[in-house]
């Protein structure tokens, strides 16, 4: 018997039909990934499994959990048996300390104090978080916050976990650790997991089944291997597959001996494919290290922002950034990377003027116009309709430039909606348009691709490059190493409060073993400086 079942299910939120004729069965113990373009209905589908989160609209068909209609579930059963983890960890934290956060859901269902302590003791031992139990939640890293949120769901012993892009705000290592925990929960406790995720390379090796959604309908649904084999030939969904799978497919077209193999979805599987044909693959020597000063195209341009001896601390005993010297030239496209808590957001807020240093100096070119996009896009919203958010102060109707951006980001259908009712990816697009219509000299974006599907991410990158070619200077922070590797001209890695590395992306990622792209991990023994798919195609003539 299916644990979750959608039968002829459709959902209409006027004027748009969000989900159409969904027929889907999820068995107990399944680990299922949902992916597809932003706005395809992924979050809406998950929301209909948590009755407290069901959006307002017209429903056709039905959704059942353990053969019971979701709307008929007892409140206590819905609270304990079905857990929902949101994209932004801060949205789910409701108390001051970690131990209070984990105890809160148990107190809500009236569990005796001694039983609550037993549950917390078991949970903290399993996750190894005893050392942060009495910490204030605001002091935690993004990965720790998401882990605490997960613990607060698991103490209720759910049968089903629903997760809406849970790793979108985590650095690559924290993201992998979090997904590893999910896999343990699935394998060791048979907890059924349904997850929306755009971090394709990370998630695919962990799941059993994949659902591809397009325009509110299911395009593909099967086990991982079958879905990958079907989607790899699809003009749209081939973009939603891991880079390892793309390399495998390109190689299979050139080398018939691997055509019958399963398509790799993990680095381990991908290396087995390479080993099978290693005699056919050209191996390239490691090149000498190139420094940023060598032939960097912007060093003759005017400096528009610089810092010297920069220090910043939120508290005297906790220095976030120390002794940073930095120079930004007009027309640069810089990606700033580093783990959660490395100081990326603090650094760009100092550069933009949103924060003041406690020591050191920041210089900005006179009359320079800076647009800053916060990591959480809802900070930018104050109006009831999207269309009103996109009007400049002196405008009564949208300008032609704004209309072009709206068309480019494909959000025409959102104009009359409340921005708070839009999905995370849609909110991100709206906030980016708001920043771009001000025609800034410098565009500073904090995690701009968070919530973007692969196609939207590609189109957005091309638009940024187009703006850059017309003189716009761009700085982004990002956990998406592949995005930085593909599109940024310069990369800065923050560590221990300072700039650890400042160089070309190829130089940084080819030197790293762990904090690098999936492509580089796959082919490092053959092409040491191969960090993106384009490198592989060129070197191996694929």
SS3 annotation, 451-487: CCCHHHHHHHHHHHHHHHHCCCEEEEECCCHHHHHHH
Question: 275 in the Ramachandran plot: left (φ > 0), alpha (ψ -120 to 50) or beta?
Answer: alpha
Report the relative pairing of strands 31-35 and 359-364 from DSSP bridges: unpaired
pLDDT tier at 294, thresholds 50, 70, 90: low
Q: Edge to edge, what strands does the sheet with 68-69 contain?
A: 16-26, 4-13, 58-65, 68-69
Q: What's the rounded Cα separation, in Å, for the pair 344 and 397? A: 36
The DSSP code sequence of 344-400 is HHHHHHHHHTSS--SEEEEEE-TT--EEEE-SSGGGG--SSSHHHHTS-TT-SS--H
Q: Between residues 531 and 294, which one has the greater pLDDT?
A: 531
pLDDT in tens, 454-480: 988 898 898 888 889 888 999 999 999
CB atoms within 10 A of CB 225: 14
Q: Indicate the average pLDDT of the chain.
A: 91
Fold (topology level) of 4-232? Rossmann fold (3.40.50)
Nearest 5°: the CA angle 494, 495, 498 is: 70
Give pLDDT, residue 509. 96
Contact present, 239 and 452 (Cβ < 8 Å): no
Domain boundaries, the chain: 4-232, 303-517
Give pLDDT, residue 369. 93
pLDDT in tens, 70-108: 999 999 899 999 999 988 888 889 999 999 999 999 998
pLDDT in tens, 472-529: 999 999 999 999 999 999 999 999 999 999 999 999 999 999 899 999 999 999 999 9
4-232 matches 303-517 in fold: yes
Q: What's the rounded Cα separation, in Å, for the pair 152 and 143? A: 14
CATH of domain 303-517: 3.40.50.300
């Amino acid at each position: 018997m299916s644990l979750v079942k959608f039968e002829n299910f459709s959902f209409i939120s006027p004027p748009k039909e969000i989900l159409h004729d969904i027929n889907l069965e999820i068995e107990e113990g399944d680990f299922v990934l949902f992916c597809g373009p932003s706005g395809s209905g992924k979050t809406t589908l998950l929301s209909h499994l948590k009755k407290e989160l069901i959006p307002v609209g017209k429903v056709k068909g039905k959704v059942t959990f353990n053969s019971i209609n979701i709307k008929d579930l007892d409140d206590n059963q819905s609270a304990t048996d079905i857990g929902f983890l949101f994209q932004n960890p801060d949205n789910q934290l409701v108390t001051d300390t970690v131990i209070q956060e984990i105890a809160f859901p148990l107190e809500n269902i009236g569990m005796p104090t001694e039983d609550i302590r037993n549950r917390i003791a078991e949970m903290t031992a399993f996750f190894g978080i005893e050392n942060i139990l009495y910490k204030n939640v605001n002091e935690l890293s993004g990965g720790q916050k998401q882990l605490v949120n997960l613990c607060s769901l698991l103490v209720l012993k759910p049968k089903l976990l629903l997760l809406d892009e849970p790793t979108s705000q985590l650095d690559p290592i924290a993201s992998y650790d979090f997904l590893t925990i999910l896999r343990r929960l699935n394998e060791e406790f048979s907890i059924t997991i349904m997850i929306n995720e755009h971090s394709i390379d990370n998630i695919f090796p962990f799941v059993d089944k994949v659902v591809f959604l397009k325009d509110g309908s299911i395009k593909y649904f099967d086990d991982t291997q079958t879905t990958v084999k079907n989607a790899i030939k699809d003009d749209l969904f081939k973009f939603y597959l891991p880079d390892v799978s793309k390399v495998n497919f390109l190689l299979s077209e050139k080398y018939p001996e691997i055509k019958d193999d399963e398509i790799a979805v993990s680095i381990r599987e991908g290396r087995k494919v390479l080993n099978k044909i290693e005699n056919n693959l050209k191996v390239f020597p490691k090149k000498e290290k190139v420094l940023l000063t060598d032939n960097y195209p912007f060093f003759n341009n005017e400096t528009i922002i610089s810092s010297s001896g920069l220090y910043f601390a939120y508290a005297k005993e906790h220095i976030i950034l120390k002794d940073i010297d930095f120079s930004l030239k007009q027309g640069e496209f810089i990606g700033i990377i580093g783990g959660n808590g490395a100081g990326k957001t603090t650094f760009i807020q100092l550069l933009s003027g949103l924060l003041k240093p406690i020591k050191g100096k920041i210089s900005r070119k006179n009359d320079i116009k800076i647009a800053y996009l916060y990591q959480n896009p809802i900070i930018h919203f104050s109006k009831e309709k999207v269309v009103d958010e996109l009007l400049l102060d002196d405008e009564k109707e949208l300008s032609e430039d704004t209309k072009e951006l709206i068309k480019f980001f494909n959000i025409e259908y959102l104009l009359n909606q409340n921005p708070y009712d839009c999905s995370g990816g849609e909110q991100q697009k709206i906030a980016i348009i708001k920043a771009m219509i001000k025609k800034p000299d410098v565009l500073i974006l904090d995690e701009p691709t968070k919530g973007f599907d692969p196609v939207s991410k590609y189109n957005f990158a091309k638009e940024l490059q187009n703006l850059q070619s017309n003189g716009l200077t761009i700085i982004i922070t990002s956990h998406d190493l592949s995005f930085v590797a593909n599109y940024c001209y310069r990369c800065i890695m923050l560590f221990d409060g300072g700039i650890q590395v400042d160089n070309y992306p190829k130089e940084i990622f080819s030197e790293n073993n762990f904090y690098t792209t999936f492509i580089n991990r796959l082919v490092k023994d053959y092409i040491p400086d191969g960090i993106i798919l384009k490198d592989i195609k060129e070197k191996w003539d694929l």
